[in-house]
């Protein structure tokens, strides 16, 4: 390696990014019973304004009712029937839209958490990816030790950006959603449009 190559390599190495997070603050309730997820949750997470803090942004609803804005959705009602989870978006005390999720097809359940994404890539994340190297991402939703809903996303990568700049990063995003204690039955009616 000649001197100019050494300086270029040293400059690229010194300008690379390294970032590692802590373990995360959410302590999930460990259970084998998926029924503990049932309940009505506020559709406003804590910390507020942190990335996105609305449940439909994490749980894809694929609603054909595009005119319903997420900020009009006040609550998310979750029901469990056998191995199916029914997620209902509640607006003005009626169901604005709902989606059914089937265990084994749409999600997996382990240690009290719904695993939405568990992705590992050895070299590339697909066409158009400008990085090369291993990465992983894992997204789970469950109940925390206080009984509230919790979202946890963790990921890490050690890659070369544009095949020149080495970058090692890791991150954790966590949001809590208050589970409401309802004084009445949580059977909501369909909204009339």
CATH assignment at residue 44: 2.40.128
Beta bridge partners of 156: 136, 170
β-strands 108-110, 113-121: how paired? antiparallel
Question: By the 8 A CB rule, do 89 and 43 touch?
Answer: yes
Beta bridge partners of 39: 78
Any domain includes 5: no
Is residue 11 very low, low, confident or very high in pLDDT (cuts 50, 70, 90)? Answer: very low
Kindly report the pTM of this predicted structure.
0.70
Mean of the per-residue pLDDT values of the chain: 75
Any domain includes 67: yes
What's the pLDDT score for residue 40? Answer: 92
pLDDT at 19 over 50: no
CA 87 to chain centre: 15
Percent of the chain whose pLDDT exceeds 70: 70
Number of domains in the chain: 1
Least confident of 11-15, 116-120, 158-162: 11-15
Q: Distance (Å, rounded) from C-alpha 84 to C-alpha 35?
A: 10
The CB-side HSE value for 6 (13 A sphere, CA atoms) comes to 3
Phi, psi (5° rounding) for residue 9? -60, -45
Beta bridge partners of 21: none
Least confident of 2-11, 106-115, 184-193: 2-11
DSSP string covering 85-140: EEEEEEETTEEEEEEEEEBTTTBEEETTEEEEEEEEESS-SSTT--EES-EEEEEE
Any domain includes 7: no
Q: Answer with the residue of higher pLDDT: 79 or 49.
A: 79
What's the pLDDT score for residue 67? Answer: 46
The structure tokens listed for 87 are: 């997620």
Is residue 52 very low, low, confident or very high in pLDDT (cuts 50, 70, 90)? Answer: low
pLDDT at 21 over 50: no
Any domain includes 8: no
Q: In which domain, by residue range, is 68 found?
A: 15-185
């Amino acid at each position: 390696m000649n001197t100019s190559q050494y300086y270029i390599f040293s400059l690229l190495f010194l300008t690379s990014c390294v970032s590692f997070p802590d373990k995360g603050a959410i302590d999930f309730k460990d259970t084998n019973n998926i029924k503990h997820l049932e309940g009505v949750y506020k559709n406003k997470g804590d910390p507020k304004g942190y990335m996105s803090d609305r449940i439909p942004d994490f749980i894809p609803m694929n609603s054909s009712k595009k005119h319903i804005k997420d900020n009009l959705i006040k609550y998310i009602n979750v029901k469990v029937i056998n191995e199916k989870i029914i997620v209902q978006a509640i607006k003005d005390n009626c169901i604005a839209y709902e989606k059914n999720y089937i265990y084994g097809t749409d999600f997996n359940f382990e240690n009290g958490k719904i695993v939405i994404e568990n992705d590992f890539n050895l070299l590339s994340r697909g066409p158009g990816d400008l990085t090369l190297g291993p990465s992983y991402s894992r997204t789970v939703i469950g109940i925390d030790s206080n009984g509230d809903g919790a979202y946890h996303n963790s990921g890490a990568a050690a890659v070369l950006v544009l095949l020149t700049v080495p970058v090692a990063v890791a991150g954790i995003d966590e949001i809590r959603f208050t589970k409401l204690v309802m004084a009445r039955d949580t059977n909501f009616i369909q909204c009339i449009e």
